[in-house]
Amino acid sequence: MGNNIIAFVRDSLTNMVANLGTSRDKASATFYSMPMLSDEELLNAYRGAWLPRKIVDIPAFDSVRAWRDWQAKKAQIEAIEKEETRLNVKGKILDAKVKARLWGGAAIVIGTGDLELSTSLDVERVGKGGLKYLTVMSKRNLTAGEIERDPASEWYGKPKLYQVSSAGGQQLEIHPSRVVIFNGAAQPDEEFFTTSQGWGDSVLLSVVEAIKQADGTAANIASLVFEAKVNVIRIPDFMQNLGNAEYRAKIMERYTLAATAKGINGDLLLDKEEEFEQKQANFATLPDVLMSFLQIVSGAADIPATRLLGQSPAGMNATGESDLRNYYDRLQAMQSVEMTPAMARLDECIIRSALGSRDPDIYYEWAPLWGMSEKEKADVFKTKADAARQLVGTSPGQEIIPREAVSDALVNVLVEDGSLPGLDSAIDEYGELSEQEPHEAEERAALEAQKLL
């Protein structure tokens, strides 16, 4: 028992002189509380201040900016992309992501023409043109119903149904399989937050204090500009005569005249016994102070300062490239971990609505977010071309993969990444290698082999 007490005293730093570890320690009064922001306050912050708006918009926009590359046959890719354009899938996802980040949750209702929306969506029944509409709703319009508590259910921990008020004032129930759900900041345990069951938190909740501090600092610096120069005039017996009303009037008249004269001539007229002094504020360190607060906001929002503030990083040899790469890597992980599962049913409907059936070989990859330079693009193109040559060999009989298969796959890759503008139309005119006559293909292969040698 005695050893335990000694260990406790040794492991808990207490200093009666400095008040450390005692009830008088200032840190003992520090605690965390939940910042409460209503939907109206969140909207005001988004519409009226640039920092909250950028924190909400930037990751949402960047997550869909490059979009995705479908891996399929050329005709299938064209049909799927045409269907995405018809339904404005990219724009609807962006709209839902912005609303989710601002208010904590949003959904896209998948409209297939079914009259009974409270039943599970059967994607196998979606035929060509079967996807009728996509409607974006925020959590303010779509109310989460009772939470599913059956551990064996696919929807465990999620609402069994969602309710939305129809035009006639009736409550319309929608099955969760018919909505694509996006949350803002995920909640670790919904049991603690009964007021927002089924949804997450606004991403602004955890950064609002940092934003206010940065905005307050900027506002005080702006106010200080008006006080950058203060004139100090010392008047003999000023305090002794201040109680005299006639004296006060003469003082005001006298220095109004002095200020007018100074404004006209640039000279200040004073009595010999009066003293004049100018005091100027020092702004030398204020930019660093403000930038420190903005960097805290950048860290809190998990957005690099180069992207959030739109400025080049400071310091020798600093480019900000590593920060941006880490940011884009995190966004790509979010695309894979959050967006792909959330959009899975929608994508199945898009494929079937575009093609009329589901080819199991069709899939997509999220396009890289990091934009390559022209030299990097040329290096990637050369690497792909060299890899294709290695696969087909330099002469007939050395192919690892049939030449026609490599040619068709390479054409798809080059069309998708835009390496050769106009390749699509050229292929339509001359045909793919697999579509050419055997003797034409052999002649072309021989010419390619001669070039390589």
Q: Is 35 helix (H, G, I), strand (E, B) or coil?
A: coil
CB 388 within 8 A of CB 419: no
pLDDT reported for residue 257: 82
pLDDT tens for 50-70 read 999 999 999 999 999 999 999
Is the CB of residue 176 less than 8 Å from the CB of residue 159? Answer: yes
Count of CB atoms situated within 10 Å of the CB of 101: 25
Q: What residues contact residue 105 under an 8 Å CB cut-off, 6+ apart?
A: 99, 138, 139, 181, 182, 183, 184, 196, 198, 199, 200
> Can you say whether the dihedral through the CA atoms of 197, 201, 206, 210 is positive or negative?
negative
Among 112, 80, 3, 4, which Cα is nearest to 355's? Answer: 80
> Could you tell me the end-to-end alpha-carbon distance of the chain, in angstroms, rounded to an integer?
86
pLDDT per position as a tens digit, 222-273:
888 877 777 777 888 878 787 888 888 888 888 888 778 776 656 565 666 7
Q: Cα–Cα distance between 451 and 443 in angstroms, integer?
A: 13
pLDDT at residue 95, as a whole number: 97
* pLDDT, tens digit, 9 for 90 and up, residues 125-162: 999 999 999 999 998 889 888 888 888 988 888 889 99
Q: What is the side-by-side strand order in the sheet with 171-174?
A: 143-144, 162-165, 171-174
* 390-421 core/surface letters (b: 16 or more CB in 10 A; e: else): ebbbeeeeeeeeebbebbbebbbebbebebee
Diameter of the chain by CA atoms? 115
At 4 the pLDDT is: 55
pLDDT at 284: 82
Return the beta strands (E) in 273-419 as ranges.
275-280, 363-366
The pTM for the full model equals 0.74
CA torsion, points 251, 256, 257, 258, in degrees to nearest 10? 90
DSSP strand pairing (162-165 vs 171-174) = antiparallel
Q: What is the DSSP letter of 278?
A: E
DSSP assignment string, 427-440 = HHHH--GGGS-HHH
Q: What is the pLDDT of residue 278?
A: 73
Angle 321-334/50-65 helices, nearest 10 degrees?
Answer: 70
303 touches 295 (CB < 8 A): no
Q: How far is the C-alpha of 189 from the C-alpha of 176, rounded, in Å?
A: 20
Contact 192, 178 (CB under 8 A): no
With a cut of 70, list the residues of the chain below it in pLDDT. 1-21, 23, 25, 27-29, 167-169, 189-197, 263-272, 279, 312-320, 394-398, 418, 422, 430-453
Nearest to 55 by CA among 345, 299, 286, 321: 299
Answer whether 131's CB lies under 8 Å from 112's CB.
yes
Contact status, residue 144 vs residue 220, Cβ threshold 8 Å: no
CA nearest 411: which of 428, 390, 394? 428
* Residue 8 confidence (pLDDT): 46
- The CA distance from 200 to 213, in Å, is 25
For the packed helices 438-452 and 403-417, what is the interaxial angle rounded to 10 degrees? Answer: 70
Sequence-distant (≥ 6) Cβ neighbours of residue 231 within 8 angstroms = 276, 277, 278
